Amino acid sequence: MTELKLAEQLKANDKVFTKSGHLFGLDEMKRKEENPGDYEALWHILSNMCNIAWEVGCKVSSSPIAVEGGDALWALHLPTGEAVCISRGITAHPGLLADMIRKFIDLGYEESPGFAQGDIFENNDPHYGGIHAPDFDTAMPIFYDGKLIAWASCVTHVSDSGSVTPGSVGFLNPDCYSDGVPVSMEKVGQDDAYYPWYEMRIRSRTRTPDFVLGDAKGRLAGCITIRERLMEVIEKYGIDFYLDSVHEFVEDSRRYAVGRVKTQTVPGRMRKSQFKDLAMKGKNVILNKQDVDCLMALPMELEIDGDANIRFSLRGASGSVPFGENIHPTALKSGLLNGYSHVIGFDMFNSGPAASWDVELPPSGSWANPFDVDWSASSGVAWAPRGAVDQQPLRGLRPVVPHAGLHRGDGGRLRHHDDRRVRRHDTARLLPRRAHPRAGQQRLARTWLQRRREQRLVHLHAQRRLRQRRGDRALLSDSLPGSEHRGRLGWLRPVPRRARTHRGVDGAQHALGDRVPVRRRRHAQQGAREPRDVRGVSERTRLRQLRGRYQREAVDRGGQASRARSGTCRRSHARPQRVRDGDRKPCDAAIPDPGASPELRPDDPHRLGWSGDGDPIDRDPVSIEDDLNKGWTLPKVAADINGAVVSENGSFAVDTRATEARRTEIREKRKQRAVPFREWWTAEREKVAAKENMDPAVLEMWRSSMSLSPDFGAELRAFWGLPDDFEF
């Protein structure tokens, strides 16, 4: 098609897009128009091909993370790196994979070391755009007739990347030097085999090298599968049809995304701030600099213009932190593409839509773009802050609500093909910061995500399995209609029995807000505390008594020595102590008591509900009655939060008239108790200026937010009427 070198082609592509507004200058989609049947057929075949690669790769890999957790993906790319189509799996990565290939080209690898069939290139290094060390991103160039005509890529999340703490989610990594074994934009193999030194490095520096290498084999097997099948496809359809069509797929997807934004959203500017606490002072950390309380600011601004271009900004993001919660902007953008695609919902997930995105480079030195200022920032977890932000576009794109006319479920569009069901992507991850149920955010609680079709129940079921294994009691997850105006059902999750003394560590990583009622949730494993307004089903089981009986056993497992080694993914190998009859003591720690001590003990269950949508006293009394009788809420909640007048006589009944009267009272009381905003503002700005009752962590957060984003700082000062030189 072209004789340009890839690096030149990249530049030419950028130019023509800027000029024409169409990727690759495709204002006409010749193949699609002339041959819609074969165009569509090719898409099917290529998608299928990627999914076959998934099957092969996962079976060869050794990782339940891939097979059951779905944290892997295989993809096909254009020669210049843009993703064309992907397998099921972790859709947070294709953006990153495309950028990685592009970077190989930009770095001049085409000249040296050159690209040849059978070459294996890899990166897991956040310094160069990787998301975090355990995610190994691989790409192999594919040649036909001597020309590079495609790339096969993939990612798997390995079980241990050699970071300072075992496992693959390095929250406690103080810096990048403890993030684990780096593979930095390297050629790690050729002729379809990894170099011996690559294997040696994995063996030298990871704790589970057989598993990590098993994953490597899986990645390789999947990529080779793509390559071999692609040859068959090209033989059948011809190289020209293939190359033309795959370019058109990317532009087609871009157009679709733009069109979809226009039917789903309202142009304008959305803003939502969010905060994540890392209250680590006094906890078991690794380096002294981590003995600190931090508060991270994750503000989001999203603006949609008349042409459906989307500008995303993280101005005001606070500085990098001495934990694994920082991220490279490329990875961040990739994650956003994931979220965005799910909200917009389109079934050609590839690099196209990214072209209509303008993700502003986050403030340099912030957790979202740390390296120019803090080269050593760790990305052990990386997706945690991104996860918080990930949801914002979803939420942000939904005030779209008015136009979409929906505040539920218009966000995601179903993929067609086999699976008709919308997987409600663990909506936990979609929720922005929330407050308590009685407050209720007025924006939508839910965006229905649809996953790639064959994600085969990945999240829902894998998590169901995981929850069941841990003795969770999962409540009805599709409780959509029931959650209007009240806290949404969640599920009770006992804290895993690990001999970890500081739930704070686990908690901080998992966004269990110590100080801030954070309501983000990414996977089922993560939780945010909810007030005990939401009833846990375990109250009907004997979990409480059982837990109580084994309380001591759980604590005995481990001991001082293991506490000292405590980290985020510690597994206790200590033999459980025999508990004799006389040792057992009853303990009702299963359900946290309201007056319980601030420290969460191992085995204390969390309730993973979340707050509702809308004014809780708007909730229909009939629904409240139903909630009560189903055991989904408590009488105290119905009374205090929903303002219902409840009686019990065998079953619960809500007196509609009395409830209305009570609610009228409540509204009056609210008005009396509240003050006009200006009045509050007048008093509050004095307190702000005086930094009254503001924890040092909060002050430090504002300091960094404002200095890293002077505009943001100016706006904040202007809002409170603070002098231009005011600092926190």
Partner 1 sequence: MSFDKAEIEMLMDGVLAWPAVQDMMREAKDEDRFDKYVEIVQERVPWDDRILLPLTPALSIVARDGRRIVKCRCGHEFGDYRVNWKLSSLIYVRDDEESLSEVYQGREMPDPSWTQVREYVCPGCGTQLEVEAVPRGCPPDFDFLPDLDTFYEDWLGRPLPDKAEYTDLTLATISEWTG
Partner 2 sequence: MFGTPVIPMYEHEVEQGARELLVDEECEALAIVFLHSYTNAMHEERAAQIVRRVMAELGREVPLEISSEVAPTAREVSRANATVIQAYASSPARKQLVRIEERLKDIKYSCNLKTVLGYGGIADIRYPRLFESAMSGPVGGLMGAKYLSTVMGEENIVCSDVGGTSFDAGAITAGVLPIDREPGFQEMYVNVPMLGITSIGAGTGTYIRLDPQTGRLKLGPDSAGGTPGPTFMEAGNTTPTVNDVNLLLGILNEDNYLGGKVKVNKQVSYDLFKEKIADPLGQDVYEAAETCLGLLNVMMREHLVRSIMVGHDIRDYVLLGYGGGGPLHLLGYASDLPWKAVATVPYAGAFSAWGGACMDYSFRRHKSVASMIDPSADDAVKIGYLQPVKMGWDALEEEMLTELVEEGFSADQITIKRVIYMKYLGQLDDIEVDSPVDSIDSIDDVNALVAAFEDRYTKLFTLVAKSEYVPIQVSEVCVVATVNTPKPRLRTHKLADRKPDKKAFKFKRPVFRGGKWNDADVWRMEDLVPGNEIDGLAVIEASNTTLFVPPEWHMRIDEHDIYWLERKG
692 binds, among partner 2, partner 1, none (CB under 5 to 8 A by kind): partner 1
> Taking the complex as a whole, how short is the minimal distance between the CB of residue 64 and partner 2, in angstroms?
6
Q: How long a stretch of residues is the chain?
A: 728
Angle between helices 710-720 and 696-708 (to 10 degrees): 120
Neighbours of 648 (CB within 10 A): 10
Residue number with CB closer to partner 1 (266 or 555): 266
Residue number with CB closer to partner 2 (36 or 108): 36
Residue number with CB closer to partner 1 (72 or 654): 654
364 binds, among partner 2, partner 1, none (CB under 5 to 8 A by kind): none
Looking only at residues 440 through 479 of this chain, which bind partner 1 when binding is defined by CB under 8 A?
Answer: 440-443, 448, 450, 478
Residue among 327, 548, 338, 588 at smallest CA distance from 455: 338
Residue number with CB closer to partner 2 (360 or 583): 583
Instruction: Note whether 245 binds partner 2 by CB under 8 A.
Output: no
Instruction: Note whether 668 binds partner 1 by CB under 8 A.
Output: yes
Distances (CA, A) of 495 to 107, 109, 166, 502, 584: 46, 48, 19, 12, 20
Instruction: Note whether 480 binds partner 1 by CB under 8 A.
Output: yes
Q: Determine how β-strand 357-359 pairs with β-strand 310-313.
A: parallel
> Taking the complex as a whole, how short is the minimal distance between the CB of residue 95 and partner 1, in angstroms?
24
What is the b/e burial string over 63-102, where b = at least 16 CB atoms within 10 angstroms of the residue's CB? bebbbbbbbbbbbbbbbbbbbbbbbbbbbbbbbbbbbbbb
Instruction: Identify the bridge partners of residue 120 per DSSP, sorted by sequence position.
Output: 189
Kindly write out the interface string for residues 27-46 of this chain, putting x where it contacts partner 2 by CB under 8 A and - elsewhere. Answer: -----xx--xxxxxx--xx-
Residues near 282 by beta carbon (within 8 Å), at least 6 away in sequence: 291
Instruction: Note whether 661 binds partner 1 by CB under 8 A.
Output: no
Instruction: Identify the bridge partners of residue 83 per DSSP, sorted by sequence position.
Output: 77
Residues near 527 by beta carbon (within 8 Å), at least 6 away in sequence: 493, 510, 511, 512, 521, 606, 608
362 binds, among partner 2, partner 1, none (CB under 5 to 8 A by kind): none
Backbone angles phi, psi at 83, to 5 degrees: -70, 135
> Taking the complex as a whole, how short is the minimal distance between the CB of residue 145 and partner 2, in angstroms?
22
Residue number with CB closer to partner 1 (157 or 272): 272
Instruction: Note whether 233 binds partner 2 by CB under 8 A.
Output: no
CA dihedral 349, 236, 241, 191 (to 10 degrees): 70
Kindly write out the interface string for residues 184-223 of this chain, putting x where it contacts partner 2 by CB under 8 A and - elsewhere. Answer: --------xx----------------xx--x--xx-xx--
Instruction: Identify the bridge partners of residue 142 per DSSP, sorted by sequence position.
Output: 150
Looking only at residues 275 through 314 of this chain, which bind partner 1 when binding is defined by CB under 8 A?
Answer: 275, 277, 295, 305-306
Q: What token pair was written down for 626?
A: 């139903």
For 111, which DSSP code? T
Burial class, 181, CB count within 10 angstroms (exposed 0-12 / middle 13-18 / buried 19+): buried
One-letter amino acid of 673: R
Instruction: Note whether 402 binds partner 1 by CB under 8 A.
Output: yes
3-state SS record for 236-253: HHCHHHHHHHHHHHHHHH
Residue number with CB closer to partner 1 (166 or 643): 643
Binding piece for partner 1, criterion CB under 8 A, among 127-135, 175-183, 266-274, 556-564: 266-274
Binding piece for partner 1, criterion CB under 8 A, among 35-43, 170-178, 397-405, 628-636: 397-405
CA 30 to chain centre: 38
Neighbours of 360 (CB within 10 A): 13
Looking only at residues 323 through 382 of this chain, which bind partner 2 when binding is defined by CB under 8 A?
Answer: 348
Binding piece for partner 1, criterion CB under 8 A, among 54-62, 171-179, 181-189, 272-280: 272-280
Q: What token pair was written down for 184?
A: 């930095």
Locate the DSSP E strands across 273-386. 275-279, 293-297, 300-304, 310-313, 357-359
295 binds, among partner 1, partner 2, none (CB under 5 to 8 A by kind): partner 1
The SS3 of residue 187 is: strand
Determine the Cα–Cα distance for residues 232 and 251; give it in Å rounded to an integer.
Answer: 24
Determine the Cα–Cα distance for residues 511 and 514; give it in Å rounded to an integer.
Answer: 9
Residue number with CB closer to partner 1 (98 or 261): 261
CB 316, CB 405: distance < 8 Å:
no
Instruction: Note whether 674 binds partner 1 by CB under 8 A.
Output: yes
Instruction: Note whether 425 binds partner 2 by CB under 8 A.
Output: no
587 binds, among partner 2, partner 1, none (CB under 5 to 8 A by kind): none
Residue number with CB closer to partner 2 (71 or 530): 71
> Taking the complex as a whole, how short is the minimal distance between the CB of residue 507 and partner 2, in angstroms?
27
Binding piece for partner 1, criterion CB under 8 A, among 19-27, 123-131, 213-221, 609-617: 609-617
Binding piece for partner 1, criterion CB under 8 A, among 22-30, 76-84, 238-246, 681-689: 681-689
Determine the Cα–Cα distance for residues 475 and 610; give it in Å rounded to an integer.
Answer: 13
Residue among 140, 133, 152, 155 at smallest CA distance from 202: 133
* Of the candidate residues 64, 114, 402, 559, the single one contacting partner 2 (CB under 8 A): 64
410 binds, among partner 1, partner 2, none (CB under 5 to 8 A by kind): partner 1
Residue number with CB closer to partner 1 (235 or 684): 684
Instruction: Note whether 465 binds partner 2 by CB under 8 A.
Output: yes
> Taking the complex as a whole, how short is the minimal distance between the CB of residue 503 and partner 2, in angstroms?
25
Distance between first and last Cα of the chain = 58
Residue number with CB closer to partner 2 (78 or 258): 258
* Of the candidate residues 680, 686, 711, 727, the single one contacting partner 1 (CB under 8 A): 680
Residue number with CB closer to partner 1 (169 or 460): 460
695 binds, among partner 1, partner 2, none (CB under 5 to 8 A by kind): partner 1
CB 465, CB 68: distance < 8 Å:
yes
Under the rule (CB under 8 A), what is the footprint of partner 2? 32-33, 36-41, 44-45, 48, 51-52, 55-56, 58-64, 67-68, 192-193, 210-211, 214, 217-218, 220-221, 224-225, 252, 255-256, 259-260, 263, 348, 416-420, 457, 461, 465, 468-469, 542, 575-576, 578-579, 581
